[in-house]
Amino acid sequence: MSDSDRPLTYAQHLRLDRLLSSQERQSALKGQPAHDEMLFIIVHQAYELWFKLILFELDRIQEIFSGPVADDREIGQAVHGLSRIARVQKLLIEQLDVLESMTPLDFLDFRDLLFPASGFQSLQFRLLETRLGLTRAERLTYADKPYDALLSEPERARIAEAEAAPSLFDQVQAWLERTPFVSRAGYEFSAAYREAVLRALGGDQEAVRRNPSLAEEALEAEIAALDAALTRFKSIFDAAAHAKLAAEGAWRLSAKALQAALFINLYRDEPVLQLPFRLLSVLMDIDENLTTWRYRHALMAQRMIGRKVGTGGSSGFDYLRRTADRHRIFGDLFALSTYFLPRSKLPPLPEALRRAMGYSYAEKAP
């Protein structure tokens, strides 16, 4: 019987001979075996396997959104894939609990043997960030160098290729810009909704001014924040104002995409918008999970090495904490919550439009 005819075994399918022989402790090679280096290696290898799965899921998701028009029948698959990515991220966060079972002294037993290797050299994580939509211009410098400076030349070439291709952010923006129903004959979402939000924000300003418990400084800060929110909201419906704020970094999404995202969130109960709403929600989950992971990673670094320089030459805790604040991708979707209205105050949709957004079999027979 040839090898190809033999029944497949569990170990063969998973290539366990390769997988389980891939943990080589540097401390043991140097004659100073450190027990917890095995934990360190396995946790980080597991990270790379999960990163591989995320990139694999992104392949199909980005293929769905790659054409001039996304097939509505495939959006459910995209939402499913994004939900899987979000669940994997939860595991990535939980793995830090396992890694933190290693004490700082346990880490010091082998830390110096790792220089200059660093998690910052993870090509897959950099590809993941880039393909989701984190741009080079938005990244913090790493030890005063570009984020890919410590990668090999072939790895930098792969990063450049990913940067040149449309990211998921770019694709979702184009998909939002094609959203129907936002503007139709006899109905303009921007006109009806804009007036309702302006009234609501104006009411908030009056309520703040009448609040007797606010000190003068706090009052001014609240009014300034509301004024900024009002300016930002108006820019969604004003091309010139939006271009100005986008150049300042206040918005990433185009005005047309922002209007569509608002419409989807506000009228998400309409049957045709329920799946698009889930898509936007899970994108926010992914962004939130990334931020949570970065912050947990920063806290773990501080716990393990204090204010020491990282093995890759970064400022350790300080750098990681700042990435949690700065390296956001879908932050615009979070910001839109400022302009949501209760269902009771939403401008009603025209009846013909409401019917067009429902299920035909749900309509009563005449």
**Local structure of 20: helix, strand or coil:** coil
**Local structure of 244: helix, strand or coil:** helix
Tracing tokens 């499913």 back to the chain, one arrives at: 80
Q: In whole angstroms, how far apart are CA 87 and each of 94, 103, 299, 323? A: 11, 27, 22, 22
**Local structure of 187: helix, strand or coil:** strand
- Of 180-194, 242-256, 257-271, 321-335, least confident by mean pLDDT is 180-194
Fold of 18-362: Methane Monooxygenase Hydroxylase; Chain G, domain 1 (1.20.58)
Q: Which two tokens stand for residue 210?
A: 């009448």
The contacts of residue 17 (CB under 8 Å, 6+ apart) are: 11
> 30-66 burial by CB neighbour count: b if 16+ within 10 A, else e?
eeeebebbbbbbeeeeebeebbeebbebbeebbebbe
Taking the C-alpha atoms of residue 10 and residue 14, their distance in angstroms, rounded to an integer, is 6
pLDDT tier for residue 189 given thresholds of 50, 70 and 90:
confident
Asked whether the whole model's pTM tops 0.85, one would answer yes
pLDDT tier for residue 366 given thresholds of 50, 70 and 90:
very low
The contacts of residue 20 (CB under 8 Å, 6+ apart) are: none
Phi, psi for residue 342 in degrees, rounded to 5: -60, 150
Taking the C-alpha atoms of residue 242 and residue 245, their distance in angstroms, rounded to an integer, is 5
pLDDT digits (tens, 9 = 90+) for 57-69: 999 999 999 999 9
pLDDT at 263 over 80: yes
The contacts of residue 355 (CB under 8 Å, 6+ apart) are: 363
Residue scoring higher pLDDT (182 or 24):
24
Share of the chain above pLDDT 90, in %: 65
Cβ–Cβ under 8 Å, residues 284 and 101: no
pLDDT digits (tens, 9 = 90+) for 313-328: 556 778 888 898 899 9
Predicted confidence at residue 120, as pLDDT, reads 87
**Local structure of 323: helix, strand or coil:** helix
Nearest Cα neighbor of 342 from 265, 275, 237 is: 265
pLDDT tier for residue 139 given thresholds of 50, 70 and 90:
very high
Q: Which two tokens stand for residue 111?
A: 């830390």
pLDDT tier for residue 142 given thresholds of 50, 70 and 90:
confident
pLDDT digits (tens, 9 = 90+) for 69-81: 999 999 999 999 9
Residue scoring higher pLDDT (66 or 204):
66
